[in-house]
Amino acid sequence: MRTAMSAAIAMLFLTLVHRAVAEPVSSLADGRTGRIEFRSVTPGGPTELVRRTYPAAGTVVSGTLVLPQAAEGPVPAMVIAHGGGGILKGREDAWAARLNALGIATFVVDSFAPRGLQSTSRDQARLSTMANLADALAALRLLASHPRIDPARIGVMGFSRGGQVALYSALEPLRRGVIDDDLRFAAHVALYPSCSILYRAAAVSGAPVLMLLGGSDDYTPAAACHAYSDWFAAKGAAVRVVTYSGAHHDFDIPDPPHFLPALQSARGCNAEVEVDNGAVRRLDTGERLRDPAAISAYFRACMQRGATVGGDPAALARAEADIATFLRGAFSLPVR
């Protein structure tokens, strides 16, 4: 009887400890690393994010924080945002290790698993990209509280959908949908983002932007991102675009290129979204869409299926060098 009671007490104690550990944190002042749960929000679109009309209850998401070894003083950090396929083996963690070797802390954010999702690649409407963006901004706010991270040197890096997060986080109305003060990302690195639907705003952060694109990308074609980079440059952002000839979407993953017929792509869309007021304009016809039903109908109709994804070792090697050069400049890092 005494043994059974002791076991029950021990089980209760472990349960309480687990609950305490699993409680989402609002500050990293204790200097913790590893897997961290934190609160974010889940807006259904840019207007909900800008106006903060998303569900007030919020959402608990998670991320994995790794600090570089033997770092002296507060270090720069990068929030890493995954794509529509979620966190992929050999991509997010591999980039985290590369950045750690440069002396940069990394926080790989998982926007899908905490929301019960594995992928949006076949149906991008399952979760708005604004939810991934909100998670990245919440991660920025959280990292800024860490005693070993320099809040003025936190950047964001993402792949495909996460690349959109890296770009959209430079738009001030979207940033203010989560951040109350002047805290901003100090650098934006977007790998093969979708640029067929251009999100624009009256004000951008002005932080430097790097876009890395695949010249043979038939999922998120490079041409649209060149047009987007011109817009960023016109707004005063220091933007650099590099296109790797012959590289496909996901050129930095270990798997060889292969065609996936079920992938949903926005490459057939040609529109801009003014996030300040929610207006949508078709760039092919000039038509302005304001009715939510008309906007939804257009975006459903312009989606297409099928694309090639897969790694390109030469493009990856160039991307490693290009990102290292960019971040050394953005974060004033020594050359190693």
Q: What is the pLDDT of residue 23?
A: 86
List, as one string, the DSSP characters of 218-284.
SSS-HHHHHHHHHHHHHTT--EEEEEETT--BTTTSSSPPEEEEEEEE-TT--EEEETTTTEEEETT
Question: Residue 9 has what pLDDT?
Answer: 43
Q: What is the pLDDT of residue 77?
A: 98
Output the DSSP codes for 49-90: HHHT-S-TT-EEEEEEEEPPTT--SSEEEEEEE-BTTBSPTT
Q: How far apart are CA 31 and CA 330, in angstroms?
A: 24
pLDDT higher than threshold 70 for residue 3: no
Model confidence over 97-126: pLDDT tens digits?
A: 999 999 999 999 999 999 999 999 999 999
Residue 198 and residue 226 in contact, taking contact as beta carbons nearer than 8 Å: no
Determine the Cα–Cα distance for residues 179 and 292; give it in Å rounded to an integer: 26
Q: Quick one: pLDDT band at residue 18, thresholds 50, 70, 90?
A: very low
- Quick: pLDDT tens for 201-210: 999 999 999 9
Identify the weakest region by mean pLDDT among 4-13, 18-27, 137-146.
Answer: 4-13
Quote the crossing angle between the two packed helices 313-331 and 92-101, to the nearest 10°.
50
Mean pLDDT on 118-142: 97
Q: What's the confidence (pLDDT) of residue 137?
A: 98
Output the six-digit token pair for 197: 């639907």
Tokens of 187: 């650098």
> 19 versus 195: which is more confidently predicted?
195
Mean of per-residue pLDDT scores for the chain: 93
Residue 266 reports pLDDT greater than 80? yes
Integer CA distances (angstroms), 215 to 86, 92, 188, 244, 250, in order: 23, 22, 20, 5, 12
Query: pLDDT band for position 336 (50/70/90)?
Result: low
Q: CB atoms < 10 A from the CB of 5, how many? A: 9
Q: In whole angstroms, give the CA distance from residue 228 to residue 208.
A: 14
Q: How many CA atoms lie within 13 A of 188 on its CB side?
A: 32
The model's pLDDT over 284-311, given as tens digits with 9 standing for 90+, comes to 999 999 888 999 999 999 999 999 999 9
pLDDT score at 335: 77
The pLDDT value given to residue 93:
98
Please state the pTM of the whole predicted model.
0.92
| Residue of 77, 72, 283, 79 whose CA lies nearest to 178 | 79
